[in-house]
Structure 1
Amino acid sequence: MSDSLPRITYSNIDADLSPIHAYLDKAIPEFEQESLSKSWKTPFATGPASSIVSPIDGAISLGEFPVSTAGNIKAAIAAAREGAKIWNRTSVEERLAFAGRWKTALAEAKYRLGIAALYEVGKSRVEAIGEAEEVLDMLDYYPSELKSNNGYRRPMNELVPNETALSVLRPYGVFAVVAPFNFPVALSVGPIVCALLAGNSVVYKPAPECPLSGLLIAETIKRAALPEGVFSIVLGGTEVGRLLTTDEGVDGIAFTGSHKTGMGIFRHIAKGPWVKPVLAEMGGKNPAYVTKNADLDRAAQGVVRSAFGLQGQKCSACSVVYVDNAVKDEFIERCKVLASKLVVGDPRCKETFIGPLYNSGTVDRFTEAVAQVKAEGKVHFGGTHVDGKPANYFFPALVELDGPCNLTKDELFMPFVVVRGVDGLEQGLKEGNNVSYGLSAGIYTEDNNELNVFLDHAEAGVLYANRASGATTGAWPGAQPFCGWKGTGVSGRGGLGPYYLPQFMREQSHTIMTN
């Protein structure tokens, strides 16, 4: 039955999703009964096991999961190096065939993967299934790029008649893939498939609180029949990540997470005998701009959805809005109306838009930020605990501040958006660009001159204009390359776009004299 259900993307907000909800009404309790509270084992994690609970409710155990020891990590990397000897030399056709088999396995597991993310992260139904849907498009898009670029083999100029010259992109060897908690499926599958399509072997570490989705992903790869050692999974937290990313047997790293951790990886790599590739996405502080020429209904909808979807726990979540003073008060009122209609609750329920905050640290940061605004600005909506719910359920906060501060500059990762009144787009862009990050930004205007100023001057890699489904969120494979500028990223080329896959390879020229 699930094959006939409509697709969820991050943009089709007006689609009739009632068939999906009817399916999930049965599938969610079945998943809870069949897949939760189990004791898991995996070859490269033989350390002590512990229970991990869902942020939805501390009484819900995701299962008992072991941790990888230092010896396990060494063994996984050694296996990957052996596997790389085979996989590095496979043809493009063999890699594409694997991608086809993996897509089939992922499609069969789509709802299990989405529901796992729902339990692990506290995602709403639509967010969770949308994430699982996204990976299927990744398994279309990236292989199509490899194929359309002829496996990244390109003829070069021939200087003499009996010379043949080629540019060939070759794999590095072993890639470590370190995934975050907020998109445990998509931000795992994306770098894994690119590393494998490029001919690398992979050692993968899911977020410490998301081993369930990580192990389910590993099961789908096993069904896709890779050679021994080409893919391995290790489990654990900060120390496991450190041991993996600093091991000399790793040739490249794909990391998604905090700026602090990402920069720590770069600093370690810089001390080595040579620089290894590090593909890093390290957060964002994503502004939206609402001019006096904006459609305020569209702007309010886009900002509220982008700021509060997934509890604001997205790298691209909108966390500050620069609004022309001429329309600021009206914009705030429209946002308040929309925010008041959002259901905060158990994400297993179809009505829920906002689920729980991820952990106690997020709760502390949220309450501290609200307290700061009460002292320095104004809380227009929310910021309070939801009565009758566990301690990590809060109404989202819509606040206003009179000037720039830590709350308009630092990544917050919570359902908290700051409104700043400005005297025009130029002032807003000046302040919005004056941050360490540069992931996404959005504008609402019906004036083409303002739109062009934004497109020319916004310092971010992902730009949106007049998007009701999300002011700064909603990137999709093959549609919106997800490229971080400044402190968000390094290479200047982002995931989901045409220049991501080649970063898992290095160039080699072949010059051959024929006689």
Structure 2
Amino acid sequence: MSDIFDDTAPPRVTYSNTGTDFSPVHDRLDQLFPALEAGLGRETVFPLVEGYPVTGTVTTTIRSPIDRDMTLAEVVEANAVTVARAVAVARAAQPAWAALPWPERAAIIRRAGDILAEMKWRMGPLLVLEVGKSRLEAMGEAEEAADLARYYAAEMERNLGYERLLPRAKPEESCSSLLRPYGVFGVIAPFNFPVALSVNMISAALVAGNAVVYKPGQINALTGALLVQAFLKAGVPADVLAFLPGGAATGEALVADTGLDGIAFTGSHAVGMEIHRRFAAGRFARPVIVEMGGKNPAYVTATADLDRAAEGVARSGFGLQGQKCSALSKVYVAAAIYDDFLDRLTARTAMLTLGDPRRREVFMGPVIDDRAAARQAAAVDEARRDGRVIMGGERLGGGIYDRGCYLAPVIVDRLGADHRLNRDELFLPFVSVQPFDDLAAAIADGNRVAYGLTAGCYAGRQAEIDLFLDQAEAGALYVNRASGATTGAWPGHQPFCGWKGSGGAGGKGGLGPWYLPQFMREQSRTVMLR
């Protein structure tokens, strides 16, 4: 199989090169899926501490959301004893890793990125099976993960290890500022982007000189184990990076361990805020680097290209079944073009193919589980009661659809501005549409949520664009983007910064130049020369 898994087939998939002919990618994936699936269900994934598997008493069977009859792996969950041991081992190993000259650490993390790139033809198909992503979403994530590791290595080099000479206060002294690692970081990753977001947090923490104790999403043990192998193969010492698969109990034990010097978390607002409170409650506050979701709006003015807007709204609202923290959740549309835009949006949404994401033509797969399907059903019932369901809401049945949660995308309108469905994050293929007469008022209403992750605007007048850029309260803004109204950030190009309840107090996001310094703390050094 080595000839199939090599890294030679163009073109490269990103989240924005939507006009590319990806036939060569699909042709290779057609070869890969049968061979990959033939080997599934035979592997047991263990926690890794010091590079060695750790046994346990609780074993979970991981099944694909595409088809619940498909067993992906058996997973031994890390218990509290294993978590405590992993943190202790990491604490003992971290000083030697931090003492390694920063150019050597950067070279190791860059090498991890190169290895992840070589793994993409295995990682991408696994993401389809683990998460239910479409083929191109999955391959894009595999590419993004490799770029993230390389990006943070380059940032360390670009900033010369974050050491800076400062002006002398006296001729006989030397003054400098240096950013130094905290020690041991816990990393807790979500299910929806299990490779890219894990690599984002892990590579930044490691290149800064920290040790890492890593817990993937409960269903992501296979991709989590594979990416850990990439870091170990690149030269990260086995005692510096621990792998702790498991569910809520594993995450709770990790958060509760006072041996952590900091934590990086991507997930829900409720859990992220609880971590914040707990890490601020000790003898001193420990750093918490978080991304906690969004309620992301887009604005379509009367001067917009409506076909472009409909394309971008549909892609961001329903890509990955709306299960992105950056997914578009509501769209404000100028009253003068409201009906015209709705017609175009519904027509474009009706063209999206829903089904088994192993097929090349499929854009939307299943939502992750029955709980998500129940939330969608409840939201549709509310929308029917309090507004209007324009399209969607049904659950597909028959064949493979009976073995997964395949939900038609939903578009609603006529809900009140303060309705729960217009304020709460849903994490579902569900878009609410609202008319507006005044763009400034619409933006102000879009800002009246607890979140501030992404926002988009479609407009033909510069004054409208400037108003959006000046007034929108979100960390990542997009204007006139057909590939996605609110989604599609890429390392080094679109930092993923959460404002308000979407991120930490500093609002500095991954994928950008201000993320890496958060894994370090400043030390001022004044040395008398004579």
**TM-score bin (small chain):** over 0.9
1:463 maps to what in 2?
477
Within the candidate set 38, 44, 55, 1:46 is matched to 55
Secondary structure at the residue paired with 2:339? helix
Matches within 5 A, 1:68-83: 68-83=78-93
1:500 maps to what in 2?
515
Secondary structure at the residue paired with 1:169? strand
Please tell me whether the aligned partners of residues 177 and 191 of structure 1 are also in contact (alpha carbons under 8 angstroms): yes
Q: Shift in Å at residue 35 of structure 1?
A: 4.4
The separation in 2 between residues aligned to 1:27 and 1:508, in whole angstroms, is 50
Please tell me whether the aligned partners of residues 46 and 245 of structure 2 are also in contact (alpha carbons under 8 angstroms): no
1:397 maps to what in 2?
410
1:128 maps to what in 2?
138
1:62 maps to what in 2?
72
- 1:205 has 2:210 as partner: no
Q: Shift in Å at residue 365 of structure 1?
A: 0.5
The separation in 2 between residues aligned to 1:430 and 1:101, in whole angstroms, is 45
The separation in 2 between residues aligned to 1:298 and 1:340, in whole angstroms, is 16
2:467 maps to what in 1?
453
2:3 maps to what in 1?
none
Q: Shift in Å at residue 227 of structure 1?
A: 2.1
**What amino acid sits opposite 1:123 in the alignment?**
K
Please tell me whether the aligned partners of residues 83 and 228 of structure 1 are also in contact (alpha carbons under 8 angstroms): no
1:480 maps to what in 2?
494
Please tell me whether the aligned partners of residues 157 and 165 of structure 1 are also in contact (alpha carbons under 8 angstroms): yes
1:172 maps to what in 2?
182
The separation in 1 between residues aligned to 2:123 and 2:514, in whole angstroms, is 27
**What amino acid sits opposite 2:55 in the alignment?**
T
Please tell me whether the aligned partners of residues 402 and 421 of structure 1 are also in contact (alpha carbons under 8 angstroms): no
**What amino acid sits opposite 1:400 in the alignment?**
D
Secondary structure at the residue paired with 1:451? helix
Q: Shift in Å at residue 159 of structure 1?
A: 0.8
Q: Shift in Å at residue 36 of structure 1?
A: 4.1
- Output one character per residue of 1:449-493: Cα deviation in whole Å (capped at 9) or x when no partner: 111110110000000000000000000000001000000111211
The separation in 2 between residues aligned to 1:257 and 1:288, in whole angstroms, is 22
Q: Shift in Å at residue 381 of structure 1?
A: 1.4
Higher mean C-alpha displacement, 37-46 vs 81-90: 37-46
The separation in 2 between residues aligned to 1:76 and 1:479, in whole angstroms, is 35
Please tell me whether the aligned partners of residues 412 and 431 of structure 2 are also in contact (alpha carbons under 8 angstroms): yes
Within the candidate set 13, 21, 38, 2:26 is matched to 21
2:529 maps to what in 1?
514
The separation in 1 between residues aligned to 2:307 and 2:163, in whole angstroms, is 49
The separation in 2 between residues aligned to 1:268 and 1:148, in whole angstroms, is 35
> For the structure 1 residues 458 and 450, does the alpha-carbon distance in structure 2 shift closer, same or farther, using more than 3 Å as the test?
same
2:451 maps to what in 1?
437
- Output one character per residue of 1:40-71: Cα deviation in whole Å (capped at 9) or x when no partner: 23345522212111100110111100011111
The separation in 2 between residues aligned to 1:167 and 1:446, in whole angstroms, is 47
Within the candidate set 266, 270, 292, 1:282 is matched to 292
Give TM-score, length-normalised by structure 2. 0.96
The separation in 1 between residues aligned to 2:341 and 2:397, in whole angstroms, is 28
Give TM-score, length-normalised by structure 1. 0.98
Secondary structure at the residue paired with 2:100? coil
Matches within 5 A, 1:40-439: 40-44=45-49, 45-47=54-56, 48-388=58-398, 389-390=401-402, 392-404=405-417, 405-439=419-453
Please tell me whether the aligned partners of residues 204 and 234 of structure 1 are also in contact (alpha carbons under 8 angstroms): yes
The unaligned stretches of length 5 or more in structure 1 are: none
**What amino acid sits opposite 1:46 in the alignment?**
T
Q: Shift in Å at residue 28 of structure 1?
A: 1.6
The separation in 1 between residues aligned to 2:498 and 2:114, in whole angstroms, is 31
The separation in 1 between residues aligned to 2:48 and 2:227, in whole angstroms, is 15
Secondary structure at the residue paired with 2:331? strand
Please tell me whether the aligned partners of residues 443 and 451 of structure 1 are also in contact (alpha carbons under 8 angstroms): yes
The separation in 2 between residues aligned to 1:478 and 1:228, in whole angstroms, is 29
Give the aligned length.
515
Secondary structure at the residue paired with 1:327? helix
Q: Shift in Å at residue 228 of structure 1?
A: 3.5
Please tell me whether the aligned partners of residues 300 and 332 of structure 2 are also in contact (alpha carbons under 8 angstroms): yes
The unaligned stretches of length 5 or more in structure 2 are: 1-5
Please list every run of at least 4 consecutive aligned residues from structure 1 whose deviation after the TM superposition is greater than 4 angstroms. none
